[in-house]
Amino acid sequence: MAGWVVVALDVIAFFAFSIALVLVLRERFENSNPYSGVIKLLFALAVLVYVFVAFSNILEHAGITAVLDEYEDYVEILFVPLIAYAVYTMHTARLYNDARRAAELLNAEHGLLTAIIDTSPTGIMLVTSAGTLAFANDMARETLRLQSGPGESLQMPDDLTCLSTQDSSVRPLSLEGLARGVTLFGSTCIVETGGKKVALSVSSSPLGTDAAPGAPQGSVVAFVDVTEREEARQGLLDAQARYSLDLERTVDERTVELLAVNRELGTVNRAKREFVANVSHELKTPLSAVRGFAELLLSGAPGPINAEQAKQLQIVADSSQELLALVERLLELERVESGHAVVTPSHVELDQVVEGVVDLIEPLARERGVKVVVESVGSVVAETDAGLLGQIVRNLVSNAVKFTPSNGSVTVKVLEVGEYRRISVADTGVGIATADQERIFEPFAQVADSAATRGGTGLGLAICRELAHALGGSVWLKSVPGEGSTFTLEIPARFSAG
């Protein structure tokens, strides 16, 4: 190759490396990275090696001087370590950058978390296993008036007292307890600090999961101020207590009033019964005399009477008979009501009592065209008063016949129900409206539109109920108006006084 061509190539190489050197020197590396200056210097030195070699070649090949040629080899040896060192430094710089970015990210997240925790309406604290407060957010500091002690460590105020807790075995805000690691869920605790009482709902859970079993592990504590809720609850409890007290007082007052009224009523009732009994007794003798004389005159023994007189006398005799019946029943009711019905228990065959009653009423039933049937499971016996029992059954069967139109029927059943005996009297009669079903057991109660009530006293069922009570039993009624009624008497199989 011609000498000038070689020189020309050397010049080109020299300028090319010089430009590369300028470019390297002008390169703006990240100045936040402490390695960027070293990298720039290493690259600049590596390119400078070739600038020097190209310059030495120009001088040599142009025949000017070969003085630099002997240094060329030493300089060239430097190139590879310089580049290797630059590459290694670049790698270190990249690692440094990654670490720095991660730290920045961590810082940003930490800042965000701190901001969230600090603005939270929940008080949050961290108690270490040594029993010191490692962290408390703004709400915790404000609520518990936490103070920074020497060396900026947080301290519980000296006057903080836990007045009461739901769970007496745990004091939710005792640092000693929390240092051990406590699990709490919404434990209400009233604390007082700075003369102010605050109700807190405290939750906490142990911190260290890798602590040895039984060793202190510290706790993370969260609490919410529930003072308003607790005050409202307390208010409600107070109001409830006041209300109960008022209610109790009112009930006591009313009971006293009722007892007084009851006493008065008892006196009035006794007076009424005595009055009825006395009046009835007083009426019985003159009424018997009226009836007796009317019948005597009717018999014609004292002298003849005309037809009109006989008619009038018959009315007198019938009316006095009716009045006598009423007086008899009044006296009977008074006797039962005042507890004077004497129960004489004996071995009673219930079906025989029923048969006896039916035989007695049969003529009236035949006259009214009503069929009376007795259904019995066989021999049913009871230790009871046969006379009183017969009186009740007689009343019920005669009512059934009286309030059943002709061609109707009355069925009397005798049943054993465990320790009880039942006699039911069912008719296909007029029935009783629901509104009247309880009322007809009251003395003198009759159903207004029942034509057949005429002639009755309205005392029969009242007597039945009282007699049933006297036998230790009860009478009840089921009835559908227009379809019929069923009266049921239930008495214990064995009468026991008291």
Binding site for ligand ADP (CB under 6 A): 395, 399-400, 403, 427, 429-430, 432, 440, 445-447, 450, 453, 456-462, 485
Nearer to ligand ADP, 1 or 448 (CB): 448
HEC profile for 18-68? HHHHHHHHHCCCCCCCCCHHHHHHHHHHHHHHHHHHHHHHHHHHCCCCCCC
Whole-angstrom CA distances from 34 to 29, 94, 214 are 10, 11, 49
Nearer to ligand ADP, 36 or 446 (CB): 446
Instruction: Name residue, tokens 């296993």.
Output: 129
Residue 452 beta carbon to ligand ADP: minimum distance, rounded to whole angstroms: 7
Nearer to ligand ADP, 202 or 430 (CB): 430
Q: Count of CB atoms within 10 A of residue 427's CB?
A: 28
Tokens of 150: 């020497």
Nearer to ligand ADP, 395 or 424 (CB): 395
Nearer to ligand ADP, 146 or 396 (CB): 396
Whole-angstrom distance, CA of residue 427 vs CA of residue 462? 19
Residue 449 beta carbon to ligand ADP: minimum distance, rounded to whole angstroms: 9
Nearer to ligand ADP, 229 or 439 (CB): 439
Q: What are phi and psi of 170, to 5 degrees?
A: -125, 135
Residue 407 beta carbon to ligand ADP: minimum distance, rounded to whole angstroms: 16
Whole-angstrom distance, CA of residue 225 vs CA of residue 189? 10
Residue 456 beta carbon to ligand ADP: minimum distance, rounded to whole angstroms: 2
Whole-angstrom distance, CA of residue 452 vs CA of residue 443? 17
Nearer to ligand ADP, 272 or 439 (CB): 439
Residue 440 beta carbon to ligand ADP: minimum distance, rounded to whole angstroms: 4
Q: Count of CB atoms within 10 A of residue 154's CB?
A: 19
Nearer to ligand ADP, 57 or 399 (CB): 399
Residue 459 beta carbon to ligand ADP: minimum distance, rounded to whole angstroms: 6
Residue 361 beta carbon to ligand ADP: minimum distance, rounded to whole angstroms: 13
Q: Which among 39, 4, 11 has a CA at the least distance from the CA of 24? A: 39
Residues in CB range of 473: below 8 A, 6 or more apart: 420, 489, 490, 491, 492
Nearer to ligand ADP, 131 or 481 (CB): 481
Query: Crossing angle of helices 69-119/36-61, nearest 10°?
Result: 160
Residue 436 beta carbon to ligand ADP: minimum distance, rounded to whole angstroms: 7
Residue 481 beta carbon to ligand ADP: minimum distance, rounded to whole angstroms: 9
Count Cβ atoms within 10 A of the Cβ of residue 393 and give its class: 0-12 exposed, 13-18 middle, 19 or more buried. buried
Rounded (to 5) percent helix, strand, coil in the chain: 55, 20, 25
Tokens of 297: 């005159």
Strands (E), 207-354: 219-225, 346-349
